[in-house]
Amino acid sequence: MVRAEAADVADDGALKTPDRLRRRVSRLLSRLTMRSDRLITEGLARDDARKWHYAVLASLQEYGPASQAELSRRSGIYRSDMVGVLNELAERDLVERAPDPADRRRNVVTISPRGRRHLRRLDKVLDDLQDQLLAPLSPAERDQFVQLLTRLLDHHARGS
């Protein structure tokens, strides 16, 4: 199925995807998501990072120290996967874990100075990747696209 999905253009350059498929918003969003995920995953990998690393570091930078459970809620990373993500970040000295003084059974995670520097570098990497993804759009179109996507996601998050 992936091979058929990726082929919108025939060998002679003519479009071969049926128009009724090309007009389906759900299909367009799915295809763009696949391309975006591949671009971001490959781009971050060149910097030896992963999407979930960025999500955790961004959450810690913006909202401050948190428990693993809180980080899971903030970032959308499954709680069962969070320990592995935090282990990877801690091994690189990007985060620090310390027992919670209020509940010594859990840890509080904090972004380290090295983690802040790494996050700034990843911000630049992601800015460049976003520019590649949105290259055909003007700055005003990019802003409108983000606003529309945000509106759709907010609407469906309320309805869930």
CB 108 within 8 Å of CB 65: yes
Could you tell me the sign of the dihedral formed by the alpha carbons of 157, 152, 59, 78, in that order? Answer: positive
Domains, the chain: 18-131 (1.10.10.10)
The tens digit of pLDDT for each residue in 83-99 reads: 999 999 999 999 999 99
Q: Does residue 27 surpass a pLDDT of 80?
A: yes
The tens digit of pLDDT for each residue in 31-68 reads: 999 999 999 999 999 988 999 999 999 999 999 999 99
- What residues does 67 pair with on adjacent strands? 108
Question: What pTM was computed for the model?
Answer: 0.81
Q: Does residue 159 surpass a pLDDT of 60?
A: yes
